[in-house]
Amino acid sequence: MTHLMLLAATVPNTPTWSPKIAIVMVLCNVLAIAIGKATMQMPSEGPQLPSPALFGGMGLPALLATTSFGHLIGTGVILGLANLGAL
């Protein structure tokens, strides 16, 4: 139990939401969509989105996968920039 208390005491403070954090998350999601579009073999498989031209013809599964990846990247970038004091 004391180990958990020590770990809880060493967790760094996470930044509160701000427009800067939102911009970083949006940029990370756009980057992930671009990476996914360039590397997926069949990004248009599965159910289509209501406006496929907006997302470059990607299907719903590809969009969900790339935005999930974008949120993982964004979380790391936000925590890293907050740790450096840039956010």
Q: Which residue has the higher pLDDT, 83 or 70?
A: 70
57 CA to centre of own chain: 20
Strand runs (DSSP E) across 1-87, as ranges?
none
- Domain assignment present for 2: no
- Structural domains in the chain (count): 1
Q: pTM of the entire structure?
A: 0.78
pLDDT band, residue 5 (cuts 50/70/90): confident
pLDDT at 14 over 90: no
Tell me the three state secondary structure of residue 49: coil
Tell me, yes or no, whether 8 lies in a domain.
no
Cα 49 to Cα 61: distance, rounded to the nearest angstrom: 10
Q: Mean pLDDT across the stretch 27-44? A: 89
Domain that holds residue 71: 20-38+48-87
pLDDT of 78 reads: 93
